[in-house]
Amino acid sequence: MDSSSAPINGIRRVPPPVNDPIRSYAPGSPEKVELKRRLATMSGDCPEIPVVVGGKAIHTGELTDVRSPHDHQHVIARFHRARPEDVLAAIAAGAEAQKEWASWRWEDRATVMLRAAELLSTTWRSTLNAATMLGQSKTVYQSEIDAACEMTDFFRFNAHFAQELYTEQPVSAPGMWNQTDYRPLEGFVYAVSPFNFTAIGGNLTSAPALMGNVVLWKPAGTAVLSSWYMHQLMTEAGLPPGVINFLPGNAAAISDVALSHRDLAGVHFTGSNEVFNSMWETIGRNMGRYRSYPRIVGETGGKDFIVAHPSADPRAVAVAIVRGGFEYQGQKCSAASRAYIPKSLWKATLAYAQEMIADIRMGDVADFRNFMGAVIDKKSFTSISEYLADAGKNAKVLAGGKANSEKGWFVEPTLVQTEDPSYRLLCEEIFGPVMTCYVYDDAKWLDTLKLVDSTSPYALTGAVFSRDRKAILEAHTALRNAAGNFYVNDKPTGAVVGQQPFGGARGSGTNDKAGSRMNLMRWVSARTIKETFVPPTEYRYPFMDEE
């Protein structure tokens, strides 16, 4: 008996998705009580995280510590690093698993994802939030909108978008039935995730899996704890062994094996440009080896802007600077890190921003009064500190500017002003809480838009603030290619699945919009089928009967 698909006749419909509501964690709320309890147990725990291949845990004995960024002496987990032989075993396990997984009806695969959403939204919520807070130093709110809400949304919306995609079928002339079979790719998808969003790791893996693919997952070393819980959650939801294999460890060593393998069918990456470019180059060098042309999908860096028109509300601009620039310590790919303010608004905008910055508390994220935690690790702390030193010498530091690594990797929310429009802090991705402002003459609005467009190689997110419709239209035109996610009178962060599909162009990536049908299309290879009901039995055409 074939048990690979449910014996159900009917055109099944995915329940219409809605965004998971953000919980408040207000004093006394049940979610706060539960999360505090989970934070306490997880803090006292130090799990040994294995490599997982074909559903089996492998303890390689090569261990790396995972530390809490806001308390770097606190080891919260240790993980076993995958060896080259584990990568090969994972590729073989994936090939075996795909035989059954790809033959399931898509509705049955979608059911696994919908069950994962439900578990995450309920019983697993505090676990994923606590792991993200402890391991990646997110405040409760930042964790809630990432690990809980965004991931739940990815699971639910992707199932809905898969249904839309599969529903797209060709027309048929009389006497035939044309069909499209959205096949999974032949081979495995290599998913490499960044540290800064728990939901990104979950989506880079589950989106291709939903479409019938098998995946090798290389999570970021600093986010292994939350990634491991995410993998366990999907397993509990019913994901068969071998569909997503979990390979923490040395990125270059794992990539060496994965990227040179004949069965590499796709790369699903989010992270920095340098790493994405190096992966693309490796694939280019190996082109003769692959069975198919690998799909290469990568969302990379940003140098996201806020540009205010003289008609803007300076208080709204200041809030966008503070929330957009400093939430999660400026470590969102969408974080605002350069602002262009007209002279007439500068004094007021600066005063509001300084007042808000003075009010910001930073520290251990288990203390819910804190608005900011620490930056992810020593490497990041050192690199941001160098930018602060540069600002101290070559620009004006108007708030913050200091960093302290005694207990954790803490960097103050920092506001810098420069008069040089090509100053490096206006051009380079810093990935920390550093906002650089450039004040322009009110009369130079159109020139400033050109400057915003041409200053950095990235084009991820950006925001315009204005109460003048003509100026908004001018910004739309001048900045059309400067951001894949463009905001009008809002901060450039906080994209919601299903509402603002996310991704940028130029140096910011391939813009395949995570959590949308556009992304899912990359993980299928369409097979067109034409079936003729009664095939012709005469080879001659009527025109040949000419007299």
Q: Which residues are catalytic?
A: 299, 333
Count of CB atoms situated within 10 Å of the CB of 467: 13
* Cα Rg, the chain, nearest whole Å: 25
Determine the size of the site formed for ligand NAD (CB under 6 A). Answer: 31
Among the listed ranges 86-94, 217-225, 345-353, 385-393, the one in contact with ligand NAD (CB under 6 A) is: 217-225
Among the listed ranges 57-65, 143-151, 161-169, 274-282, the one in contact with ligand NAD (CB under 6 A) is: 274-282
Q: Please pick, from the candidates 260, 278, 405, 525, the single residue that binds ligand NAD as defined by CB under 6 A.
A: 278
Query: Closest-CB residue for ligand NAD?
Result: 271
Q: Is 508 in the site for ligand NAD (CB under 6 A)?
A: yes
Q: Is 300 in the site for ligand NAD (CB under 6 A)?
A: yes
Phi, psi of 383 (to 5 degrees): -65, -40
State which of positions 319-348 bind ligand NAD (CB under 6 A).
333
Among the listed ranges 99-107, 141-149, 229-237, 265-273, the one in contact with ligand NAD (CB under 6 A) is: 265-273
If DSSP codes are grouped into helix, strand and coil, which group holds residue 309? Answer: coil
Contact by Cβ (8 Å): 145, 133: no
Q: Is 486 in the site for ligand NAD (CB under 6 A)?
A: no
Q: Is 184 in the site for ligand NAD (CB under 6 A)?
A: no
Question: Nearest approach, Cβ of 135 to ligand NAD (angstroms)?
Answer: 13
Amino acid letter, residue 361:
R
Q: Please pick, from the candidates 86, 304, 429, 490, the single residue that binds ligand NAD as defined by CB under 6 A.
A: 429
DSSP per-residue letters across 232-284: HHHHHTTPPTTSEEE--S-HHHHHHHHHT-TTEEEEEEES-HHHHHHHHHHHH
For residue 142, what are the β-bridge partners? Answer: none
Q: Which is nearer to ligand NAD, 126 or 461 (CB)?
A: 461
Q: Please pick, from the candidates 144, 150, 263, 299, the single residue that binds ligand NAD as defined by CB under 6 A.
A: 299
Q: Is 351 in the site for ligand NAD (CB under 6 A)?
A: no
Q: Please pick, from the candidates 212, 240, 271, 314, the single residue that binds ligand NAD as defined by CB under 6 A.
A: 271
Q: Which is nearer to ligand NAD, 132 or 349 (CB)?
A: 132
Which is nearest to 101 in space by CA: 206, 247, 226?
206
- Residue 64: C-alpha distances to residues 86, 258, 413, 453 (Å): 16, 21, 30, 42
Please, what sign has the CA dihedral across residues 479, 485, 488, 490? Answer: negative
Q: Please pick, from the candidates 161, 431, 486, 523, the single residue that binds ligand NAD as defined by CB under 6 A.
A: 431
Question: Nearest approach, Cβ of 493 to ligand NAD (angstroms)?
Answer: 11
End-to-end CA distance of the chain: 60
If DSSP codes are grouped into helix, strand and coil, which group holds residue 349? Answer: helix
Q: Is 286 in the site for ligand NAD (CB under 6 A)?
A: no
Contact by Cβ (8 Å): 461, 485: yes
Q: Is 194 in the site for ligand NAD (CB under 6 A)?
A: yes
Among the listed ranges 38-46, 47-55, 206-214, 501-509, the one in contact with ligand NAD (CB under 6 A) is: 501-509
Sequence-separated (6 or more) residues with CB below 8 Å from residue 546: none
Q: Is 496 in the site for ligand NAD (CB under 6 A)?
A: no
Q: Which is nearer to ligand NAD, 342 or 504 (CB)?
A: 504
Question: Nearest approach, Cβ of 56 to ligand NAD (angstroms)?
Answer: 22
Among the listed ranges 32-40, 96-104, 250-258, 287-295, the one in contact with ligand NAD (CB under 6 A) is: 250-258
Q: Is 192 in the site for ligand NAD (CB under 6 A)?
A: yes
Q: Is 224 in the site for ligand NAD (CB under 6 A)?
A: no
Instruction: Specify the DSSP class assigned to residue 67.
Output: E
Contact by Cβ (8 Å): 39, 29: no
Question: Nearest approach, Cβ of 431 to ligand NAD (angstroms)?
Answer: 5
Q: Please pick, from the candidates 252, 358, 446, 526, the single residue that binds ligand NAD as defined by CB under 6 A.
A: 252
Residues in the chain: 547
**Assigned token pair, 323:** 């929330």
Q: Is 107 in the site for ligand NAD (CB under 6 A)?
A: no
DSSP per-residue letters across 473-489: HHHHHHTTTT-SEEEES
Q: Please pick, from the candidates 196, 245, 436, 485, the single residue that binds ligand NAD as defined by CB under 6 A.
A: 196
Q: Which is nearer to ligand NAD, 380 or 417 (CB)?
A: 380
Can you point out the beta strands (E) in 81-208? 176-184, 188-192
Q: Is 268 in the site for ligand NAD (CB under 6 A)?
A: no
Alpha-carbon distance of 445 to 477, in angstroms, equals 13
Please, what is the angle between helix 106-121 and helix 125-136, to 10°? 70
Q: Is 511 in the site for ligand NAD (CB under 6 A)?
A: no
Ramachandran sector of residue 475 (left: φ over 0; alpha: ψ -120 to 50; beta: rest)? alpha
Which is nearest to 127 in space by CA: 54, 43, 7?
43
* Interacting residue ranges for ligand NAD, rule: CB under 6 A: 192-197, 200, 218, 220-221, 251-252, 255, 270-272, 275, 278-279, 299-302, 333, 429, 431, 460, 502, 504, 508-509
